Amino acid sequence: MTEKKKISQKDLDDWKDYIKNPRDIVDKDLGKNRTKANRNRFKFDLHGYTLIDANEKVKELILFCKKEEYKEILLITGKGIHSNSSHDVYVSNDLSKLRFSVPEYIKSNPEVSSYVASIATAKKFEGGDGAIIIKLK
Protein backbone atom coordinates (compact mmCIF):
# COMPACT_ATOMS: atom_id res chain seq x y z
CA MET A 1 0.00 0.00 0.00
CA THR A 2 1.41 3.37 -0.97
CA GLU A 3 1.18 6.45 1.15
CA LYS A 4 -0.81 9.40 -0.18
CA LYS A 5 1.17 12.47 -1.08
CA LYS A 6 0.31 15.58 0.85
CA ILE A 7 -1.05 18.35 -1.36
CA SER A 8 0.57 21.70 -0.86
CA GLN A 9 -1.48 24.73 0.12
CA LYS A 10 -0.45 26.45 -3.12
CA ASP A 11 -1.85 23.52 -5.16
CA LEU A 12 -5.09 23.62 -3.18
CA ASP A 13 -5.41 27.39 -3.72
CA ASP A 14 -4.67 27.02 -7.44
CA TRP A 15 -7.34 24.31 -7.72
CA LYS A 16 -9.94 26.45 -5.94
CA ASP A 17 -9.16 29.38 -8.26
CA TYR A 18 -9.44 27.15 -11.31
CA ILE A 19 -12.80 25.74 -10.22
CA LYS A 20 -14.20 29.28 -9.88
CA ASN A 21 -13.15 30.15 -13.44
CA PRO A 22 -12.04 27.21 -15.61
CA ARG A 23 -10.20 28.99 -18.41
CA ASP A 24 -9.48 26.10 -20.74
CA ILE A 25 -12.85 24.32 -20.76
CA VAL A 26 -14.92 25.25 -23.80
CA ASP A 27 -18.71 25.31 -23.65
CA LYS A 28 -19.62 23.53 -26.87
CA ASP A 29 -23.21 24.79 -26.62
CA LEU A 30 -22.01 28.37 -27.06
CA GLY A 31 -20.37 27.66 -30.42
CA LYS A 32 -20.92 29.67 -33.57
CA ASN A 33 -22.89 26.90 -35.26
CA ARG A 34 -25.95 27.24 -33.07
CA THR A 35 -29.29 27.07 -34.79
CA LYS A 36 -32.05 29.58 -34.20
CA ALA A 37 -33.94 26.97 -32.15
CA ASN A 38 -30.96 26.49 -29.85
CA ARG A 39 -30.60 30.23 -29.28
CA ASN A 40 -34.15 30.32 -27.94
CA ARG A 41 -33.88 27.13 -25.89
CA PHE A 42 -32.39 26.67 -22.44
CA LYS A 43 -31.28 23.13 -21.60
CA PHE A 44 -30.94 21.71 -18.08
CA ASP A 45 -30.33 18.20 -16.72
CA LEU A 46 -32.21 17.23 -13.53
CA HIS A 47 -30.49 13.86 -13.04
CA GLY A 48 -29.62 13.39 -9.38
CA TYR A 49 -32.17 15.90 -8.04
CA THR A 50 -34.74 14.85 -5.47
CA LEU A 51 -38.39 15.66 -6.25
CA ILE A 52 -38.40 18.68 -3.95
CA ASP A 53 -35.05 20.00 -5.19
CA ALA A 54 -36.05 19.43 -8.82
CA ASN A 55 -39.30 21.35 -8.37
CA GLU A 56 -37.48 24.29 -6.80
CA LYS A 57 -34.90 24.23 -9.59
CA VAL A 58 -37.64 24.14 -12.24
CA LYS A 59 -39.28 27.20 -10.67
CA GLU A 60 -35.92 28.99 -10.64
CA LEU A 61 -35.26 28.00 -14.27
CA ILE A 62 -38.64 29.16 -15.53
CA LEU A 63 -38.29 32.54 -13.83
CA PHE A 64 -34.72 32.90 -15.13
CA CYS A 65 -35.63 31.89 -18.69
CA LYS A 66 -38.60 34.24 -18.79
CA LYS A 67 -36.37 37.10 -17.63
CA GLU A 68 -33.70 36.22 -20.23
CA GLU A 69 -36.39 35.88 -22.94
CA TYR A 70 -35.89 32.21 -23.78
CA LYS A 71 -38.80 30.70 -25.68
CA GLU A 72 -38.50 27.16 -24.32
CA ILE A 73 -36.71 24.92 -21.85
CA LEU A 74 -35.47 21.40 -22.54
CA LEU A 75 -35.47 19.58 -19.20
CA ILE A 76 -33.65 16.27 -19.06
CA THR A 77 -35.51 14.28 -16.40
CA GLY A 78 -34.48 10.75 -17.16
CA LYS A 79 -36.99 7.95 -17.58
CA GLY A 80 -37.07 6.91 -13.93
CA ILE A 81 -35.93 3.36 -14.63
CA HIS A 82 -33.43 3.52 -11.77
CA SER A 83 -35.99 4.87 -9.32
CA ASN A 84 -36.49 2.85 -6.13
CA SER A 85 -40.17 3.77 -5.89
CA SER A 86 -41.35 0.34 -7.04
CA HIS A 87 -40.10 -1.18 -3.76
CA ASP A 88 -42.28 1.07 -1.57
CA VAL A 89 -46.02 0.38 -1.69
CA TYR A 90 -46.77 3.85 -0.26
CA VAL A 91 -45.04 5.69 -3.10
CA SER A 92 -46.63 6.33 -6.50
CA ASN A 93 -44.63 4.76 -9.33
CA ASP A 94 -45.57 7.66 -11.58
CA LEU A 95 -45.60 10.77 -9.41
CA SER A 96 -42.35 9.86 -7.66
CA LYS A 97 -40.50 10.21 -10.97
CA LEU A 98 -39.32 13.59 -12.22
CA ARG A 99 -40.76 13.13 -15.70
CA PHE A 100 -44.26 13.01 -14.17
CA SER A 101 -43.88 15.18 -11.08
CA VAL A 102 -42.31 18.22 -12.77
CA PRO A 103 -45.27 18.89 -15.11
CA GLU A 104 -47.68 18.39 -12.19
CA TYR A 105 -45.68 20.84 -10.09
CA ILE A 106 -45.74 23.44 -12.87
CA LYS A 107 -49.49 23.08 -13.41
CA SER A 108 -50.23 23.34 -9.68
CA ASN A 109 -48.01 26.38 -9.01
CA PRO A 110 -49.73 29.60 -10.17
CA GLU A 111 -46.53 31.66 -9.95
CA VAL A 112 -44.82 29.35 -12.44
CA SER A 113 -47.74 28.19 -14.59
CA SER A 114 -48.57 31.75 -15.60
CA TYR A 115 -45.36 31.81 -17.68
CA VAL A 116 -45.85 28.40 -19.30
CA ALA A 117 -47.70 27.98 -22.59
CA SER A 118 -47.29 24.20 -22.89
CA ILE A 119 -45.47 21.14 -21.59
CA ALA A 120 -44.74 18.16 -23.84
CA THR A 121 -42.54 15.10 -24.04
CA ALA A 122 -39.43 15.83 -26.08
CA LYS A 123 -38.96 14.34 -29.53
CA LYS A 124 -36.90 11.18 -29.68
CA PHE A 125 -33.72 12.94 -30.86
CA GLU A 126 -34.06 15.45 -27.98
CA GLY A 127 -34.40 12.79 -25.27
CA GLY A 128 -37.81 11.26 -25.86
CA ASP A 129 -39.49 9.97 -22.68
CA GLY A 130 -36.48 11.11 -20.65
CA ALA A 131 -36.97 14.80 -21.41
CA ILE A 132 -39.69 17.42 -21.51
CA ILE A 133 -40.10 20.64 -23.46
CA ILE A 134 -41.56 23.62 -21.63
CA LYS A 135 -42.71 26.36 -24.00
CA LEU A 136 -42.87 29.79 -22.39
CA LYS A 137 -45.42 32.53 -23.11
- Domain limits for position 112: 34-136
Which DSSP category does 57 fall into?
H
pLDDT at 38: 57
Residue with more model confidence, 56 or 15: 56
**Of residues 30 and 113, more confidently modeled:** 113
Spatial contact of 77 and 94, defined as CB atoms under 8 Å apart:
no
* pLDDT surpasses 60 at 90: no
Residue 123 lies in a domain: yes
- Please check the confidence at residue 79 and state whether its pLDDT lies above 90: no
- Is residue 108 in some structural domain? yes
Assign residue 107 the CATH number of its domain. Answer: 3.30.1370.110
In the chain, the number of structural domains is 1
State pTM to two decimals.
0.62
| Phi and psi at residue 134, to the nearest 5° | -110, 115
Which whole number is the average pLDDT over 96-112? 86
